[in-house]
Amino acid sequence: MSQNKLSFSSDYMEGCHPKILERLMETNLDQTPGYGLDPYSDSARSLIRKACGAPDAEIWFLVGGTQVNAVVIDTMLRPWQGVIAPHTGHISTHEAGAIEYGGHKVLPLPAEEGKIRASQIQEYIDDFHNDLNRDHMVMPGMVYISQPTEYGTLYSLDELEAISKVCHDRHVHLYLDGARLAYALACPENTADLEDLARCCDAFYIGGTKCGALFGEALVFPRPGIVPGFFSMMKQHGALLAKGRITGLQFETLFKDGLYKEAGETAIRAAARIRQALIHNGYNLCVNSPTNQIFIDLNQNQYERLSDLVEMSFWENRIVDDEIHTVVRLAASWATKDEDVDQLISLLEG
Amino acid sequence: MSQNKLSFSSDYMEGCHPKILERLMETNLDQTPGYGLDPYSDSARSLIRKACGAPDAEIWFLVGGTQVNAVVIDTMLRPWQGVIAPHTGHISTHEAGAIEYGGHKVLPLPAEEGKIRASQIQEYIDDFHNDLNRDHMVMPGMVYISQPTEYGTLYSLDELEAISKVCHDRHVHLYLDGARLAYALACPENTADLEDLARCCDAFYIGGTKCGALFGEALVFPRPGIVPGFFSMMKQHGALLAKGRITGLQFETLFKDGLYKEAGETAIRAAARIRQALIHNGYNLCVNSPTNQIFIDLNQNQYERLSDLVEMSFWENRIVDDEIHTVVRLAASWATKDEDVDQLISLLEG
Amino acid sequence: MSQNKLSFSSDYMEGCHPKILERLMETNLDQTPGYGLDPYSDSARSLIRKACGAPDAEIWFLVGGTQVNAVVIDTMLRPWQGVIAPHTGHISTHEAGAIEYGGHKVLPLPAEEGKIRASQIQEYIDDFHNDLNRDHMVMPGMVYISQPTEYGTLYSLDELEAISKVCHDRHVHLYLDGARLAYALACPENTADLEDLARCCDAFYIGGTKCGALFGEALVFPRPGIVPGFFSMMKQHGALLAKGRITGLQFETLFKDGLYKEAGETAIRAAARIRQALIHNGYNLCVNSPTNQIFIDLNQNQYERLSDLVEMSFWENRIVDDEIHTVVRLAASWATKDEDVDQLISLLEG
Amino acid sequence: MSQNKLSFSSDYMEGCHPKILERLMETNLDQTPGYGLDPYSDSARSLIRKACGAPDAEIWFLVGGTQVNAVVIDTMLRPWQGVIAPHTGHISTHEAGAIEYGGHKVLPLPAEEGKIRASQIQEYIDDFHNDLNRDHMVMPGMVYISQPTEYGTLYSLDELEAISKVCHDRHVHLYLDGARLAYALACPENTADLEDLARCCDAFYIGGTKCGALFGEALVFPRPGIVPGFFSMMKQHGALLAKGRITGLQFETLFKDGLYKEAGETAIRAAARIRQALIHNGYNLCVNSPTNQIFIDLNQNQYERLSDLVEMSFWENRIVDDEIHTVVRLAASWATKDEDVDQLISLLEG
């Protein structure tokens, strides 16, 4: 990686919010029990329950997003069930078959800008139950969505409530992947807060890895008792950290004094400025994302110019009017510096 | 957990060696690629290759021991194969079925003080191949041992070489779990160094979590090319850290300037002093462990007295001469303070 | 099921070809070893090897199609690999997640009338290998097709050779599901015989259950040695019949004196007559199937009339010009009687 | 296999009871729905419910024993649970890891002559729940036993009731493998009839393959509703026969007019005569089996003599007084002919 070039290629390029390192230093030689039974984890759980308005929520700390997805889905589904997901969802595409490794089929629905609609879900589930061959097919037992989606888009509260209603009327779990949740919560366009997620979902996770932590995700079951055996399932999946305190401490720090939201706001502000500058300079934003990820459809000249200025993520090639276009992603994060955004904007205008 | 009582209950009660936190601070805002492709991970790999005398070794960083065991065993075995292990081995007892979750049977051999012998392994494998029903049985495809064992005992170099020979003559992989490897390497009784492990084993891991790191294990395949698809298997098992730099950096720190061995020596010195004091005061050490774990067989009076003085791990109850005895474990670690050992010794003598 | 109504609802409504029952009677009290090591199975293997022009082929007898698919795919794929299949393929839709139960993802390609093309496969595999994120994705390790397809259509020899070339150039296995293979082999339009399948595929199975046997499928690996551990994998999947002789004997009977092809021809002749009568009477055949399955797109009136005359399989509803149409399937088989076809034709004309 | 030598090597060397073939002939061209929805299967279910005194029992027909074991255990256990079994149980030893393939650990208890005791089971389960590390261990969720056992021994009704009580008091399922159940039910020493099994067990299967059928096992869940999703689980495991009528018809035949018991009695009578002749001629019966299997401990001379006279199953070698002894098994079956028994007895005496 070049040291001299600006990089907006992803939101997990840095370590963690400095306040987390401070707390690790302060507590380093404290002796605590392992496996999440320590006081920092307890304190983090209290803070998250409060933020979610869910005083009885069951909360677990895991290491990474694919891991959370695999353990939750494998634990909540019965062996004859599968999980409905957007065809662009992380579990559909980029988890190397982690869900299938657990024995479950991902049932993809065509997504638009990363999102699926309540009506699609309803139709899929009802079609399944009306199919004479349904016992030869995989029963949908859960719906997986992410907020923000892999394309940076958001489900509105209305959309989320509609999906929740479809699921619960049909006894299907709703699970929400919040790997980048800080960037939804901090976004002015967002209408679904943590309390809404706790009300609408049977399980969701609050992402740490991409939102200011060294690593770690906080899994929330808003209504306790829904998942017997979860601790053992974490162990069985290799997802139980011996020094659980380290994840607990990070979430305690993120949920004290509003740090989690603050981390999100830094990224949202930076992304908004970059977005404006891109539009101003004639770039074509190709997804209507209001969060920390910016997708740009570039023609050959634009691609060459922009990729000289800044590290980005390649997304895909497209053919537009017989010409190859390249879609790239710029990502801002909790760590994005104002001066780097300034520099990018001046380069764009240069 | 009482703040006022000495605790020797385990070797993962503290955070990490202060030098690791220092390095995390220094590098926190560096931007690096994810998934272990960063310069700290590369540097750690070089240092470990050198320490193992294995310049071509393939090295991966994972988060925890159960996770490493599950990914390695699932990747190296074919689906019709199982793994031979001591009946007291970690994969046999305390991984909540992680190996079976991957579809493989653990084939337990009776262990003494945590160890199995080359002759037992040979007999098991040869019996399998001589059995007329072998195609209806699970084929042994790997041997799993740990160093030190769950009972703190050590395989001598001779024992290790004998096991290695049995395995390789029969085309069976040898895999060594080094969750507490620092405490073997630092032990005066130890005769098998990292170069020996690299020569004898097809895979082994160098434990970080219990040996001075916040978390993390370094998996070594001394001879590259033995495991195609390993990166994807890590992802599939939820074992791939987005910010791989954090594990890389910890191992870089541990393997620079001998810190890993130094961490081990602290524990070994402490354990030796405690052991001597226990014997001096009439306690009955019930496993011949030379490393950081001390197992004591206590009668009722002793148990009451000792458990008032110090936090220990309960191991098991035994009936000795019609009386209930309790076996407990004391564990020293890289973080054990001389003053705590002094205090324990004076309490023992008090 | 009404005894008075003609039934063409499927090709597994009867027992088996009478010659098979005869042979079961003749040999019933012979004593033989179990698990396929009996002389009937050996004889069946010889006959199939000869029919396939593959003198070294490895041949196994299993009980049913889903079972064969699951064992073959699980054995031939490495754990990080998935299987490309038409989105309408049996493994994609109607096996209740049997492939995912084995830990593998089905990678669906859009099919036309049940078929996928070599160019689609090539593009999918090449895109995978060109994707920067490929290590986070499921690697295609096999292509699954069926002959005839679930829609009764056939791959021509040219199409099959093209697919075979794409697969083998990319080190991907080609596996063909021949649940209804007799109806392909007996079809005048068919251009790929058993020798071609043996040349083009790495594995394929010759269906018995739907082609005249009580049950049973003959799996062919044309080139031996490709699948170590297969016997144990059959046992592990519950697919090993104790009295393997019963499957062996059935295939011996089917492959002696051309009975397998004869069974197919009965169905093909019947289907051709029915097809002609349907067209003659103004019905709309909606798939270009030359084999034993006939798909008809019926408007409301037609559906009411035809479903009064004959038992059929419901396939799907469609909206055509704002009207609900029903697609149904008629299936002929080795057991279809001329008089039933006569009766159906006269009813159609009535 | 020699045609000239008597064979008592196993109980699945012949086809099936002639009455079954007769019924297959009579019904061969009847048209029925598939997948066990046919009238023969319905009729068989009624007969079995009646025989078990369980009018609401849920009954499924599967193909073979390993298959039943795998589907039942995988369906009834939650993913974090394992199954307790005798260390000599079929699932512990000779199913090539079928249970582990489903993700579950087999938890072996030391067995005597194939049997485990209620007190052992109670101790194991209670120890688990008292273990501080239980959440890191595999929770026992089911007990697996067989009747008769792999050694031909029987659980008495008292023993069975005691095991049932231990299981149900602890919310653990009891599952009984009846691969050879006809030979228990027909045995004068047997005290547990089908009604007892239905009362004591949560699931059990009535073996067909070894008891007079071509193949097939009838699985009984005495209390319905205990296993949602079972049909789909059969399909997912490749255990659903398209022409389910063939298994249904066999069990209808076996349970009409007492044929199942009659089949068992033939074997029991033959075994009793052989046993008596062996004892009379100085052979050492080494297991106290009253059913169709006879285990003999042979010294070198005896082994040479007996293996010249008759085909037997090799069981194991033992060292007795520094001499190698060979344990062999003779098995009688529903198909054993009186004249073969006569001939064997006269050879023994010769």
* HEC readout, chain D: CCCCCEECCCCCCCCCCHHHHHHHHHHCCCCCCCCCCCHHHHHHHHHHHHHHCCCCCEEEEECCHHHHHHHHHHHHCCCCEEEEEECCCHHHHCCCCHHHHCCCCEEEECCECCECCHHHHHHHHHHHHHCCCHHHCCEEEEEEEECCCCCCCCCCHHHHHHHHHHHHHCCCEEEEEECCHHHHHCCCCCCCCHHHHHHHCCEEEEECCCCCCCCCEEEEECCCCCCCCHHHHHHHCCCCCCCCHHHHHHHHHHCCCCHHHHHHHHHHHHHHHHHHHHHHCCCEECCCCCCCEEEEEECHHHHHHHHHHEECEEEEEEEECCEEEEEEEEECCCCCCHHHHHHHHHHHHC
Distance (Å, whole) CA A128 – CA B143? 46
* Mean per-residue pLDDT, A309-325: 92
Average pLDDT in chain B: 96
The pLDDT value given to residue D349: 87
The shortest CB-CB distance from D232 to any of A135, A232, A233 is to A135
Backbone angles phi, psi at B6, to 5 degrees: -60, 140
Distance (Å, whole) CA A42 – CA C72? 48
The CATH number of the structural domain formed by A18-256 is 3.40.640.10
Query: Would you list which residues of chain A are within 8 Å, Cβ to Cβ, of chain C?
Result: 79-80, 82, 93-97, 100-101, 103-106, 132-133, 135-138, 314
Q: Which residue, D8, D13, D3, D14, is CA-closest to D345? A: D8
The pLDDT value given to residue B1: 41
Q: How far is C323 from chain D (nearest CA, A)?
A: 31
Using CA coordinates, name the residue in chain A closest to B74: A101
- Partners of residue D96 in chain B, C-beta under 8 Å: 80, 135-138
First to last CA, chain C: 24
- Partners of residue C79 in chain A, C-beta under 8 Å: 101
The pLDDT value given to residue A69: 98
Which of the following CATH numbers is that of domain A6-12+264-349: 3.40.630.10, 3.90.1150.10, 3.40.50.2300, 3.40.630.30? 3.90.1150.10
Distance (Å, whole) CA D291 – CA C344? 56
Token readout for D204 is 């059990």
The pLDDT value given to residue C2: 43
The domain locations on chain A are: 6-12+264-349, 18-256
Q: Are strands C81-86 and C58-62 parallel, antiparallel or unpaired?
A: unpaired
DSSP reduced 3-state for A94: coil
Q: For residue D39, say if its preceding peptide bond is cis, omega within 30 degrees of 0.
A: no
Give me the half-sphere count of Cα atoms (radius 13 Å) on the Cβ side of residue D85. 25
pLDDT tens digits for A105-118? 999 999 999 999 99
- Partners of residue A334 in chain B, C-beta under 8 Å: none
Which of C135, C226, C237, C241 is the best substitution to test chain B (most B C-beta atoms within 10 A)?
C135
Using CA coordinates, name the residue in chain B closest to A65: B238
Token readout for D255 is 């349970």
Interior angle at CA A92, CA A90 and CA A94, nearest 5: 50
* Mean per-residue pLDDT, A199-216: 98
The residues pairing with C203 across neighbouring beta strands, listed in sequence order, are C175
Using CA coordinates, name the residue in chain C closest to B234: C136
- Partners of residue B82 in chain D, C-beta under 8 Å: 97, 100
Q: How far is B232 from chain C (nearest CA, A)?
A: 5
Residue with tokens 């512990």: D92
Task: For the full predicted model, state whether its pTM sits above 0.95.
Answer: yes
The pLDDT value given to residue C309: 87
The residues pairing with C145 across neighbouring beta strands, listed in sequence order, are C176
**pLDDT class of A2 with cuts at 50, 70, 90:** very low
Q: Which residue, A335, C137, A333, C132, is CA-closest to B240? A: C137
- Partners of residue A81 in chain D, C-beta under 8 Å: 229
Q: Which chains touch B (3 or more CB pairs under 8 A)?
A: A, C, D
**Do the Cβ atoms of D98 and C210 come within 8 Å?**
no
**Do the Cβ atoms of C97 and A82 come within 8 Å?**
yes
- Partners of residue D79 in chain B, C-beta under 8 Å: 101
Distance (Å, whole) CA C136 – CA A252? 31
Percent of chain A's residues with pLDDT above 90: 95
The shortest CB-CB distance from C80 to any of B137, B139, B233 is to B233
* Mean per-residue pLDDT, B320-333: 95
Crossing angle for the helix pair D245-254 and D259-280, to the nearest 10 degrees = 70
Using CA coordinates, name the residue in chain C closest to B240: C136
Cβ-Cβ contacts under 8 Å between C and D: the total is 150
DSSP reduced 3-state for A4: coil
The pLDDT value given to residue C1: 41
Q: How far is C131 from chain D (nearest CA, A)?
A: 32
Distance (Å, whole) CA B325 – CA B322? 9
pLDDT tens string for chain C (350 positions)? 445 689 999 999 999 999 999 999 999 999 999 999 999 999 999 999 999 999 999 999 999 999 999 999 999 999 999 999 999 999 999 999 999 999 999 999 999 999 999 999 999 999 999 999 999 999 999 999 999 999 999 999 999 999 999 999 999 999 999 999 999 999 999 999 999 999 999 999 999 999 999 999 999 999 998 899 999 999 999 999 999 999 999 999 999 999 999 999 999 999 999 999 999 999 999 999 999 999 999 999 999 999 988 999 999 999 989 999 999 999 999 999 999 999 999 999 87
- Partners of residue D74 in chain A, C-beta under 8 Å: 79
φ/ψ bin of C96: left (φ > 0), alpha (ψ from -120 to 50), beta (otherwise) = left
Sheet holding A313-320, edge to edge: A284-285, A293-298, A323-331, A313-320
- Partners of residue C21 in chain D, C-beta under 8 Å: 21, 24-25, 28
Q: What is the ipTM of this complex?
A: 0.96
Using CA coordinates, name the residue in chain D closest to A75: D79
- Partners of residue C139 in chain B, C-beta under 8 Å: 229, 232
Query: Distances in Å between the alpha carbon of C158 and those of A198, B285, C150, C190, C223?
Result: 57, 77, 20, 11, 21
Token readout for B329 is 């474990």
pLDDT at A244 over 80: yes
Q: Containing H/E element for B308?
A: helix B300-309
D204 alpha-carbon distance from chain centroid: 10
A249 alpha-carbon distance from chain centroid: 20
Residue with tokens 């809404």: A196
Is the Cβ–Cβ distance between C98 and C69 less than 8 Å? yes
Q: How far is A53 from chain C (nearest CA, A)?
A: 36
The pLDDT value given to residue D1: 41
Please identify, in words, the CATH class of the domain defined by D6-12+260-349.
Answer: alpha beta
Q: Which residue, D197, D204, D261, D163, is CA-closest to D65? A: D204
**Do the Cβ atoms of D135 and A75 come within 8 Å?**
no
Give me the count of residues in chain B: 350
Parts of chain D with a pLDDT under 70: 1-4
Which of D78, D100, D171 is the best substitution to test chain A (most A C-beta atoms within 10 A)?
D78
**Do the Cβ atoms of D14 and C21 come within 8 Å?**
no
Q: How many CB atoms sit inside 10 A of residue C317's CB?
A: 11
**Do the Cβ atoms of C238 and D70 come within 8 Å?**
yes
Using CA coordinates, name the residue in chain C closest to D215: C243
pLDDT tens digits for A68-122? 999 999 999 999 999 999 999 999 999 999 999 999 999 999 999 999 999 999 9
* Mean per-residue pLDDT, A38-47: 98
Q: DSSP state, B320?
A: E
Token readout for B140 is 């042994």
Q: How far is B347 from chain A (nearest CA, A)?
A: 20
Using CA coordinates, name the residue in chain A closest to C137: A96
Give me the count of residues in chain D: 350
**Do the Cβ atoms of B105 and D100 come within 8 Å?**
yes
Using CA coordinates, name the residue in chain B closest to D128: B93
- Partners of residue D229 in chain A, C-beta under 8 Å: 78-81, 139
Judged on CB neighbours under 10 Å (0-12, 13-18, 19+), D227 is buried
The pLDDT value given to residue C74: 97
Using CA coordinates, name the residue in chain B closest to C227: B78
pLDDT tens digits for B118-155? 999 999 999 999 999 999 999 999 999 999 999 999 99
- Partners of residue A232 in chain D, C-beta under 8 Å: 80, 135-137, 139
Q: Which chains touch C (3 or more CB pairs under 8 A)?
A: A, B, D
Query: Would you list which residues of chain B are within 8 Å, Cβ to Cβ, of chain D?
Result: 79-80, 82, 93-97, 100-101, 103-106, 132-133, 135-138, 314
